[in-house]
């Protein structure tokens, strides 16, 4: 994980932004499902990047 930001947008209401480096380049939905059910998080924005030097970044 590169970054995780959580904002309070109202009483017991939060949104999250997650930036991830992954060797497998899983889709954003994969990470959203990991956070499913986390108390009071209503919306999750996910940005996925390949790890430097991983097979997914090499030509």
User: In this predicted model, what pLDDT tens digit does every residue of 46-56 receive, in sequence order?
Assistant: 999 998 877 65
- Domain borders along the chain are 3-50
pLDDT digits (tens, 9 = 90+) for 8-55: 999 989 999 999 999 988 999 999 998 888 878 889 999 999 988 776
CB 26 within 8 A of CB 46: no
In the β-sheet with 41-50, what is the strand arrangement from edge to edge?
A: 3-10, 13-22, 41-50
CB 16 within 8 A of CB 4: yes
* C-alpha distance from residue 8 to each of 4, 17, 28, 49, 54 (Å): 14, 12, 22, 26, 35
**Coil, strand, or helix at residue 28?**
helix
Overall pTM surpassing 0.85 (yes/no): no
């Amino acid at each position: 994980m590169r970054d995780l930001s959580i904002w309070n947008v109202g009483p017991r209401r939060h949104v999250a932004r997650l930036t991830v480096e992954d060797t497998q380049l899983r889709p954003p939905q994969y990470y959203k499902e990991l956070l499913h059910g986390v108390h009071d998080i209503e919306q999750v924005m996910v940005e996925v990047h390949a790890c430097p030097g991983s097979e997914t970044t090499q030509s």
